[in-house]
Chains A and B, each alone.
Chain A
């Protein structure tokens, strides 16, 4: 049986990769479209493990992301906390959704996050962002099934490595 620490480190490795992807350089048009990797990865772990991804963890990971990307401190923390809360709240239902329904739920979550972010940005006096801003949520949804399979694979491998 794996200890909580083992499992947590598995989660953190994937989150680190997600942050790496977030920071990876890319042309300006793509950076708006780039999916919210950290959120997607956290959603996966929320769905698949029980009580491992707490609100506190989401908050602190959000703060790290804020520091890394230089955004307003607390912006990503707020977004991730809300996402993790919603997922844990509806976890039992979400897990047994058929894939397409689950993808729709992801779309709703990501769009909700965009709305929250837009609210904060507009308080700061930023202009209305371009359409790409919203497309990012769509792309995140499209990526979701593949990411899900990939993370499942990874989790399987890690589990075997510990038990064998």
Chain B
């Protein structure tokens, strides 16, 4: 019978060979991790494998959806009516805001027309939901239920009701993975809304904290300042809220202040997101590179301000900025 009383025989079960094989496998996995970290070969293999994994995610997600649907069925009509009324009120308020925005946009367009070629692009939003699948908390990724079929392309920005969430990294047929702005390898060109000071927001591996690089010590930054995307690097459209400055450390004898900001997007608990499409294909190369998810070399041309990078080929500028910021 299975495994009863046979244990004693195996006490000296091939120990030498076993250790050698352990070493082999350990070496193999270390090499794999190093390659994955450097972005060699492995991401491509991973994206191939992801195709096969798609059904698994749907299977995992299914019970959650089923329960939620069931719950929705039984939710009382009264509460639905209440919610409906509330949403209608909110919609009205937002429409009011929008009307004001439209005149502002028109004015903005006229003003921009005075300058040459500074035309801003109209953007188009697409709704997506997070897949109810729990990835490794250290992977800084989420999955959304829109993929190639729905016109999602790698490099597109993803926002939620609060602010910028991340960017599309890997696109599959029916779902895609989004790299969060909290990833330690993620850099996002931003500016401080009040003063227009440009900087780069680096992920810190925590969902509640970003760090702003190369902010001069004397710069006019206050706790509570809103940080928005600057639109440099041509991946993220400008003007979307990202975070709020939460702490500033102007240490003695430092060139740069250490500024931390708390992201506005619900990085660890959101459910609905919007994918930003540029309405007509703009001249950016980022989203156009199809299939190869981290076709990061395209960011290299933005030499002054590092573009958002998802992986290893972080522009030298970004690295330099980070080092200076930490000193």
Contacts and interface: CB of A to CB of B under 8 A. Distances in A.
Given A25-B61, A74-B32, A78-B29, 12 more contacts: A23-B134, A24-B64, A26-B134, A49-B2, A56-B21, A69-B136, A70-B139, A73-B45, A78-B30, A124-B37, A124-B184, A125-B205
B50 interface: yes
Interface stretch (B11-19, B105-113, B257-265): B11-19
Contact of A73 (B8, B46, B207): B46
Nearest to B22: A85
Contact of A82 (B26, B56, B141, B269): B26
Contact of A55 (B21, B36, B138): B21
A148 B180 CA distance: 38
A21 B204 CA distance: 28
Nearest to B56: A68
B139 A59 contact: no
Contact of A92 (B1, B7, B206): B7
Interface residues of A, number: 52
Given A73-B42, A126-B184, A28 B268 contact: yes
A150 interface: no
A68 B136 CA distance: 9
A32 B60 CA distance: 19
B281 interface: no
Nearest to B61: A25
The range of chain B's interface size is 35 or more
A28 B207 contact: yes
A125 B30 CA distance: 16
Contacts of B219: none
Q: Which of A31, A55, A68 has the largest number of chain B CB atoms within 10 A?
A: A68
A50 B6 CA distance: 7
Interface in A112-137: 120-121, 124-127, 129
B53 A82 contact: no
Contacts of A120: 33
A27 interface: yes
6 contacts: A56-B21, A69-B136, A70-B141, A85-B19, A89-B15, A126-B184
A82 B60 contact: no
A81 B3 contact: no
Contacts of B45: 73
A127 B11 CA distance: 41
Contacts of A24: 60, 64, 134
Interface string B184-202: 1100000000000000000
Nearest to A49: B3
Interface of A: 2, 7, 20, 22-28, 31-32, 34, 48-52, 55-56, 58-59, 62-63, 67-75, 77-78, 81-82, 85, 88-89, 91-92, 95, 120-121, 124-127, 129, 155, 159
Interface string B280-304: 0000000000000000000000000
Contacts of A82: 22, 26
The 4 closest A-B pairs by CB, nearest first: A74-B32, A74-B29, A71-B136, A78-B29
A88 B13 contact: yes
A78 B33 contact: yes
A72 B35 CA distance: 10
A139 to B, nearest CB: 15
A32 B135 CA distance: 11
A26 B184 CA distance: 23
Q: Which of B3, B11, B35, B60 has the largest number of chain A CB atoms within 10 A?
A: B3
B161 to A, nearest CB: 17
B134 A55 contact: no
